Amino acid sequence: MRTLPELECPVKSLYNTRMPAPLKIIAVLPAYNAERTLRETLNDIPPNTVDEVLLVDDASTDRTVAVARELGLTAIVHPRNRGYGGNQKTCYTEALNRGADIVLMLHPDHQYHPKYIPELLQPLRDGRADAVFGSRMLIRGGAQDGGMPTWKRLANIALTRIANAVLGLRLSEYHSGFRAYSRRYLETVPFSANSDDFVFDTEIIVQGKIAGMRFVETPIETAYFPEASQIGLRRSVVYGVSILRTLGDYLRWRAGWSRDERFSLRQVLALVR
């Protein structure tokens, strides 16, 4: 008697299929005197785009923390001001400790509109990127129409061209504060060794370049208004010089002329292998 081949049971096959676990997305808000804009920022976050919102307050002198807690946010407070980079260090460390697969940085001053969050997250969801940056330079007239001072826009363009030449990247800007990182990125690069100041944003890109991370940019619009956080001319000059110094440090490190814990192959690349 011939035996018929056993047919695969579709129900059994269905139950054996494992669905991928959903990614946990945490939005981190590095806050300093954001009392007036925090509520509006939160209200504009598109529904069902993030799983948790974490605010880190950098010793604000207004009611930022009180407003955050009124809104039901988890608020971590620095007893003294640690600077923009220092704030980010706490943001990323706490988000990783809370199990984040993707960490989205959103400034609570509403300069970067939260409506672009889905576009920022999608390349990370798809596995096409390790870091995604919102770029004001990818929209025609985006930065200028949003009120960005001309001197700041021209400095942004100049510093970006220099950084691209040094790092061999093709980013449209390095200075956006609207970013998202994968857990892999933040667990690989030694961001705790970076500056506590604004140059942190460039240092973490240099580290990602060394570690072979994939960068994607998405167009965004920004708005400049009195409540929006921004640095003046003097601080901007210091920031620009710090970026050039960081790029110089990277070149010296790459040539083997110096040792730098920010760019250490032992710290960065050992985790990638």
pLDDT the model gives residue 10: 47
Alpha helices in 79-215, H assignment, sequence order: 83-97, 117-125, 142-145, 150-167, 183-188, 200-210
For the chain, give the number of residues: 273
Report, as ranges of residue numbers, the positions in the chain whose pLDDT lies below 50.
Answer: 1-14, 270-273
pLDDT the model gives residue 227: 52
pLDDT tens digit sequence for 149-183: 777 788 889 999 999 999 999 999 999 999 999 99
pLDDT the model gives residue 151: 72
Classify burial at 200, counting beta carbons within 10 Å of its beta carbon; exposed 0-12, middle 13-18, buried 19 or more.
buried
pLDDT the model gives residue 6: 46
pLDDT the model gives residue 273: 47
pTM of the entire predicted model? 0.87
- Find all residues with CB under 8 Å of 208, minimum gap 6, and list them: 130, 131, 185, 189, 215
Q: Please report, for residues 58, 199, 262, 265, the alpha-carbon distance to residue 209 in angstroms, rounded to integers and kept in the order given.
A: 29, 16, 12, 12
The full set of domain ranges for the chain reads 21-272
Tell me the backbone φ, ψ of residue 26, rounded to 5 degrees.
-115, 125
pLDDT the model gives residue 190: 96
* Structural element, H or E, at residue 28: strand 25-31
How many CB atoms within 10 Å of residue 162?
15
In the DSSP assignment, the letter for residue 20 is P
Tell me the backbone φ, ψ of residue 92, rounded to 5 degrees.
-70, -40
Instruction: Determine the Cα–Cα distance for residues 127 and 204; give it in Å rounded to an integer.
Output: 20
3-class DSSP assignment, residue 5 = coil
pLDDT the model gives residue 270: 47
Which CATH number is associated with domain 21-272? 3.90.550.10
